[in-house]
């Protein structure tokens, strides 16, 4: 069993590339299933394939077909302990665009639950979910802004200074849109319009914030009456074109596109009085929030490192555990066979006494070798110890017979 990770993320790949390989949950699950024993984690900031027993070239090809181009210099490949450590950092929010953001843990859980992983992937993902929960409960790394949505609100506040009275058009009424609306409203902004493919969904959210629900087709008619547009749909194509922006409008008009694939036409940035920011532009906001949370990030990294060491020890023990089990099974087989030879000549009390004594002798005799083998498992000598035990006691020969 070899744990392997191949992926790309916001650290190297620009949003125009990431959006081509971003998959919704069903498509990500289908890709993983097509590869074999695999799990696909696809978010706005990363698309990663975790697998065991799959040809790496097959995984690379799958991602390159989505991208429509070679991914040399963009893909990262990690194996075994390094892959596990990366997953633990991802689940803990330490590898996110906004460190400590809360959505990623649910996304990791969703990817895991959508797959049918083998023993190795099942173990590492369950452990990742556990460390993600620990980091959220034992550290304060998730303090504001702890999500892309809240970072978008912070960016809007930086541009306008005071958001009081600023009118907002929110495109997308999903969870990310809801979080963005809450953050902007808490900063004094007015949620004037909420546009969504399903108007009823937009109406429910608009009612909470005192805004008006509109269809996506009506966005252009509302752009002249807002100061801020934040878009976060899951649409596969652009939702707002540069031609939709009216010449007569409130100035400046500030667009934040936190969707991947992007919702807003990049040509909007060329219009006079229009300012367009995408998800990669949020990095500056994130950098300003890091200074006050470095100690919490350090604590979170420590927790992740502890879990990574636990995983490493478990992986190493796989070399010696079968040998220990075989040794104990062989010793018990010999003990049982020898007792059977004299059992007919003993009373019930004598048989129980001899059974207890021989069992204790066996346990005491094997106790120290078992401890030493487990200790060796966490070092480079683990496999050598296991091979030596199999050879000395003829365990492989017994297995063949």
* DSSP H or E segment with residue 170: strand 167-171
* pLDDT tens digit sequence for 38-59: 999 998 889 999 999 899 999 9
Q: What pLDDT shows up at residue 8?
A: 94
Say how far apart CA 368 and CA 386 lie, in whole Å.
Answer: 14
Q: Is 80 left (phi over 0), alpha (psi -120 to 50) or beta?
A: left
Reported as a pLDDT band with limits 50, 70 and 90, residue 382 is low
Own/partner long-range contacts of 8-12 (Cβ < 8 Å, ≥24 apart): 8/46, 8/47, 8/48, 8/63, 8/71, 8/74, 8/75, 8/76, 9/45, 9/46, 9/47, 9/48, 9/76, 9/95, 10/45, 10/46, 10/97, 10/279, 10/280, 11/95, 12/73, 12/74, 12/76
Q: How many Cβ atoms sit within 10 Å of the Cβ of residue 21?
A: 23
* pLDDT tens digit sequence for 58-77: 999 999 999 999 998 899 99
Reported as a pLDDT band with limits 50, 70 and 90, residue 168 is very high
Does residue 44 have an active-site annotation?
Answer: yes
Nearest alpha carbon to residue 96 among 60, 145, 139, 27:
145
Q: Which residues pair with 209 in a beta bridge?
A: none
Nearest alpha carbon to residue 80 among 5, 188, 164, 191:
5
Lowest mean pLDDT among 30-44, 121-135, 296-310: 296-310
Supply the pTM of this predicted model: 0.67
Reported as a pLDDT band with limits 50, 70 and 90, residue 219 is very high
Q: Which residues pair with 42 in a beta bridge?
A: 47
The whole-chain average pLDDT of the chain stands at 85
Q: Can you give the length of the chain in residues?
A: 401
Please determine, for residue 401, whether its predicted confidence score (pLDDT) is greater than 60. no
Q: What pLDDT shows up at residue 387?
A: 75
Q: Which two tokens stand for residue 394?
A: 């003829």
Q: Is 100 left (phi over 0), alpha (psi -120 to 50) or beta?
A: left
Overall average pLDDT of the 143-158 stretch: 70
Please determine, for residue 365, whether its predicted confidence score (pLDDT) is greater than 70. yes
* pLDDT tens digit sequence for 14-29: 888 998 999 989 999 9
**Given 3, 32, 44, 49, the catalytic residue:** 44
Q: What pLDDT shows up at residue 396?
A: 67
* pLDDT tens digit sequence for 185-217: 888 899 999 999 989 888 888 888 899 999 999
What burial class does residue 369 get, using C-beta atoms within 10 Å of its C-beta: 0-12 exposed, 13-18 middle, 19+ buried? middle
* pLDDT tens digit sequence for 309-361: 888 878 777 767 777 788 888 888 888 888 888 888 888 888 889 889 998 99
Percentage above 90 pLDDT, the chain? 40
Nearest alpha carbon to residue 233 among 255, 252, 250, 216:
216
Torsion angles phi and psi, residue 58, rounded to 5: -65, -40
Say how far apart CA 51 and CA 111 lie, in whole Å.
Answer: 13
Reported as a pLDDT band with limits 50, 70 and 90, residue 158 is confident
Please determine, for residue 370, whether its predicted confidence score (pLDDT) is greater than 70. yes
* pLDDT tens digit sequence for 243-300: 999 988 877 899 999 888 899 999 999 998 898 988 888 766 666 666 656 667 788 8
Q: What pLDDT shows up at residue 282?
A: 74
Please determine, for residue 130, whether its predicted confidence score (pLDDT) is greater than 90. yes
Q: Domains in the chain, start-ordered, CATH in brackets?
A: 3-138 (3.30.460.30), 148-290 (3.40.50.720), 305-400 (no CATH)
Residues 6+ apart with CB under 8 A from 147: 98, 101, 102, 103, 176, 179
Spatial contact of 91 and 104, defined as CB atoms under 8 Å apart? yes
Nearest alpha carbon to residue 169 among 224, 217, 116, 98:
224
């Amino acid at each position: 069993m070899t744990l392997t990770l191949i992926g790309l993320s916001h650290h190297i790949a620009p949003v125009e590339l990431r959006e081509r390989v971003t998959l919704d949950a069903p498509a990500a699950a289908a890709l993983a299933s097509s590869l074999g024993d695999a799990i696909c984690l696809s978010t706005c900031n990363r698309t990663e394939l975790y697998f065991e027993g799959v040809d790496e070239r097959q995984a690379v090809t799958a991602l390159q077909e989505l991208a429509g181009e070679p991914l040399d210099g963009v893909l990262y490949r990690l194996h075994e302990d390094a892959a596990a450590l990366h997953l633990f950092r991802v689940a803990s929010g330490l590898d996110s665009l906004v460190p400590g953001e809360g959505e990623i843990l649910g996304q990791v859980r969703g990817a895991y639950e959508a797959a049918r992983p083998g023993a190795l992937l099942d173990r590492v993902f369950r452990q990742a979910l556990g460390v993600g929960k620990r980091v959220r409960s034992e550290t304060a790394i998730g303090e504001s802004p702890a999500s892309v949505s809240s970072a978008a609100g912070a960016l809007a506040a930086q541009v306008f200074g005071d958001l009081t009275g600023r009118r907002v058009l929110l495109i997308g009424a999903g969870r990310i849109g809801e979080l963005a609306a809450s953050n902007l409203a808490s900063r004094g902004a007015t949620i004037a319009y909420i546009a969504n493919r399903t108007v009823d969904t937009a109406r429910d959210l608009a009612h909470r914030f005192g805004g008006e629900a509109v269809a996506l087709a009506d966005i252009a008619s509302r752009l002249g009456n807002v100061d801020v547009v934040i878009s976060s749909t899951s649409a596969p194509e652009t939702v707002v074109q540069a031609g939709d922006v009216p010449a007569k409008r409130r100035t400046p008009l500030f667009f934040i596109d936190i969707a991947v694939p992007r919702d807003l036409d990049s040509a909007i940035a060329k219009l006079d009085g229009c300012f367009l920011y995408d998800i990669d532009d949020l990095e500056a906001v994130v950098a300003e929030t890091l200074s006050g949370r470095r100690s919490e990030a350090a604590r979170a990294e420590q927790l992740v490192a502890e879990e990574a060491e636990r995983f490493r020890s478990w992986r190493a023990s796989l070399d010696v555990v079968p040998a220990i089990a075989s040794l104990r099974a062989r010793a018990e087989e010999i003990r049982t066979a020898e007792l059977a030879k004299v059992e007919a000549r003993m009373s019930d009390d004598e048989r129980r006494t001899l059974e207890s004594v021989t069992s204790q002798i066996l346990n005491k005799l094997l106790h120290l070798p078992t401890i030493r083998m487990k200790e060796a498992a966490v070092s480079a000598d683990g496999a050598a110890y296991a091979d030596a035990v199999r050879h000395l006691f003829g365990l492989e020969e017994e297995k063949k017979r």
